[in-house]
Structure 1
Amino acid sequence: QVTTPLIVGDLILDPVAHQVRVGETAVELTRTEFELLVALALRPGQVLTRHDLVTEVWDTTWVGDERIVDVHIGNLRRKLGTDTRGRGFIDTVRGVGYRVGQP
């Protein structure tokens, strides 16, 4: 259980208050979107596969399609927008998975 804010560039996540800000702007996320973003933000620069994210955010008994991650990543990208440099917060590493922050 994370109790301190996670900061990745302009992205600030407060796990205790369940709040996300991009700079000073609050961003409303669903529980699943928030947990997915926390999973990525806990490992800035590290690539997580769909399987890694499903196991961490949903659970190890998930029997659905792992592409559900892609849907939530798309929603997160729309809601978060871009940082001060005009870049998105979540990178796709083709054929591998997703990451936040630069390696």
Structure 2
Amino acid sequence: MPTKPAIAIFRQLIRTVHTTFKGDPPAIIAARKELRSAFEANRGLTEKSKVNAALAEAVEANEFIRENIIQAVKKDCGSFEIAPEKAAQLRKLEDADRRPATGPKHG
């Protein structure tokens, strides 16, 4: 895989993982291990279409982690707490889940 683009997205993924899982070292370690494994598996890619597909997948993974994973911390009382900046993101995800599915009608 071409070095510069791969290193750039790898670093971005690492930053996203550290931000998303802040305060959860086991999750950070597991995510970093998975990222490294995925990038190592693609190290020998040379065919342009496969390289572009792998890079696009990495960009998509970064977006997914950043936009769809919210780290919650369990409090002593049993409830969960999320960072204030993630609360709006959670509401957006909940609203999306409540929207009726649109698609072809059968009947």
TM-score, length-scaled by structure 2: 0.24
Rg larger in structure: 2
| Bigger proportion of residues as helix | 2
Relative to its length, the structure with more strand (as a share) is 1
